[in-house]
Chains A and B, each alone.
Chain A
Amino acid sequence: MLLIPCPWCGERDETEFRYGGQAHLARPLDPHATGDAEWAEYLFMRDNPKGWFRERWNHAAGCRRWFNMVRHTVTHEIAAVYKPDDPKPELPE
């Protein structure tokens, strides 16, 4: 099990969290002016890196807040957690 450091509550068991997928996806500002291809890209298409990934998590059983995390998809190493309005951290080497 992962020990995830919630930016507010500190370290908690992974079972307290829900996964929210890739972070930093911007919703098209005007969906009516967005073509089908672009809309499908926003809705369905996600990066699937073997390595570092910026992703969203929700501390569902704790403070119930969303936050972002940089996790390695192979080793599960956690390089950073940050609040949604914090600047994007650089990915580790």
Chain B
Amino acid sequence: MADATLFARRRSPLQDHGAALSRGAVSGPRGVTLTEIPHLAQITLRGDPGNTDFLAAVRSALGLDLPLKANTVAAAGDVSALWLGPDEWLIAGAPDSEADLTARLNAALKDQHVSVVDVTANRTVLELAGPSARAVLEKACGLDLRPREFKAGQCAQTNLARTVGILEMTQGGAWRIYVRNSFAVYLADWLLDAMAEYAIDAKF
């Protein structure tokens, strides 16, 4: 169960990288910022989307309908479900809610052939925002990120700057990147380097 002293002592991968993230922030019409959203609760849920009992149980536990369309996100309050595969979702929630989310899912899915695994410690989340955010991300990623292809409420697991990440566009139009803890500093530094050119106020 949630242990307040453990939560107070845990560290996020970019905890000591705050100065670099602030230094790299670019303001103005070509602005772009990179921040960490640490300790989001994350649960890998697997089950059969063809089984209506499974879908109903998840609905009762989380208050949302699992997205069945590939690479889309469903959200209710601060809980969201990201499609990762035809029988696999990432459930993301507020920091410190992983024990509660896991308990709710396990209670609702009791006796069903499913898998509920707390993977909160697996990844941290980077958020890339601002007018130049898409241009920065396009340097790291081969997907078509233009607004007509990649909209708010979509997600994709893909290669990012030679590591693997889960990309999500929030309703506010920012990019969230779920990245393995051990690659987080590398990816943040890679993105900071890609952001640097937007700070140059060139007048030709």
What is the interface of chain A, defined by CB distance below 8 A to chain B? 8-10, 12-13, 15-16, 61-65
Contact = CB atoms under 8 A, between A and B. Distances in A.
Contacts of A15: 142, 159
5 contacts: A9-B156, A12-B142, A63-B85, A64-B85, A65-B86
B84 interface: yes
A63 B70 contact: yes
Nearest to B142: A13
Nearest to B87: A65
Contact of B157 (A10, A13, A61): A61
Give the dominant DSSP class at B's interface.
strand
A61 B159 contact: yes
Give the dominant DSSP class at A's interface.
loop
A62 B86 contact: no
B159 A16 contact: yes
A13 B144 CA distance: 11
B85 A8 contact: yes
A63 B142 CA distance: 16
A9 B86 CA distance: 10
B87 to A, nearest CB: 9
A11 to B, nearest CB: 9
A91 to B, nearest CB: 26
B86 A8 contact: yes
B148 to A, nearest CB: 14
Given A8-B70, A10-B70, A65 B85 contact: yes
Contacts of A9: 70-71, 156
Contacts of A8: 70, 85-86
Given A8-B70, A9-B71, A10-B70, A62 B142 contact: no
A63 B158 contact: no
B43 to A, nearest CB: 17
B164 interface: yes
B158 A16 contact: yes
Contacts of B158: 12, 16, 61-62
A63 B84 contact: yes
Given A9-B156, A10-B70, A62-B157, 19 more contacts: A8-B86, A9-B70, A10-B71, A12-B143, A12-B158, A13-B142, A15-B142, A15-B159, A16-B158, A16-B159, A61-B159, A61-B164, A63-B70, A63-B84, A63-B85, A63-B86, A64-B85, A64-B157, A65-B85
Contacts of B156: 9, 62
Contacts of B84: 63-64
A73 to B, nearest CB: 24
A63 B159 contact: no
